[in-house]
Amino acid sequence: MTIREILTIPDPRLRKVSAPVTQVDDGVRELIVDLFATMYDAPGIGLAAVQVGVLRRILVIDVAKEPDEKEPHTLINPEIVAWSDEIGVHEEGCLSIPDYFEEVERPAGCTVTYLDREGKRCEMECEGLLATVVQHEVDHLDGKLFIDYLSRLKRERITKKFTKQAKRAS
Ligand code: NI
């Protein structure tokens, strides 16, 4: 088990489209163990493989409120197949954009299909925070970030701030 480094914007890998997993093998399961360890360590409630630089369609999510009541979800090749008409607003953040939070409007519910860590096809109906996190994480697999839903001014301001920080650190 390894806690991996989480990429932050403006790392160009975060804008890439991740490739589907063709076989759920031990390599994939090892990566999933690392993703959970990295997410819990951060701490965060969702993490996509691309955020540790692995461009494959794998997500881990845990929105449990109590740290000792874990509810881990592994979603491989997730696909959102239905959205509710109702819109919900949640304050979102992202481990790749640390310490920045903004309200984002998304469908309040969604249905997602995916393979679990055994390669079994599953379907999950999501509401509330889980629906938001699933949509946020699936976006990562297509190179999309939650700041893309904000005004251009806000997006440019936060991108500029992180670009400056990255330059200073290098
Ligand atoms: Ni994120």
Q: Residue 74: its pLDDT value, please?
A: 98
Question: For the purposes of burial, counting CB atoms within 10 Å of the CB of 47, is it exposed (0-12), middle (13-18) or buried (19 or more)?
Answer: buried
Q: Residue 67: its pLDDT value, please?
A: 72
Indicate if the pLDDT at residue 99 is higher than 80.
yes
Residues 57, 79 contacting (CB under 8 angstroms)? no
> Ligand 1 centre from 135 Cα, in Å?
10
- Look up residue 78 and give its two tokens: 């997730």
What percentage of the chain reaches a pLDDT higher than 70?
100
pTM: 0.96
From 60-64, 121-125, 149-153, 166-170, the region with the lowest mean pLDDT: 166-170
Indicate if the pLDDT at residue 12 is higher than 90.
yes
> Ligand 1 centre from 99 Cα, in Å?
12
Q: What is the pLDDT of residues 128-159, one digit of tens each?
A: 999 999 999 999 999 999 999 999 999 999 99
Buried b (16+ CB within 10 A) or exposed e, 110-119: bbbebbebee
- The whole-angstrom separation of Cα 126 and Cα 138 is 13
Return the bridge partners of 75, or none.
59
Structural domains present in the chain: 12-169 (3.90.45.10)
Q: Residue 20: its pLDDT value, please?
A: 98
Indicate if the pLDDT at residue 65 is higher than 90.
no
Indicate if the pLDDT at residue 169 is higher than 90.
no
Q: Residue 170: its pLDDT value, please?
A: 79
- Look up residue 152 and give its two tokens: 């251009």
Q: Taking all residues of the chain, what is their mean pLDDT, rounded to a whole number? A: 96
Q: Residue 131: its pLDDT value, please?
A: 98
> Ligand 1 centre from 47 Cα, in Å?
7
Which among 30, 71, 92, 137 is annotated as catalytic? 137
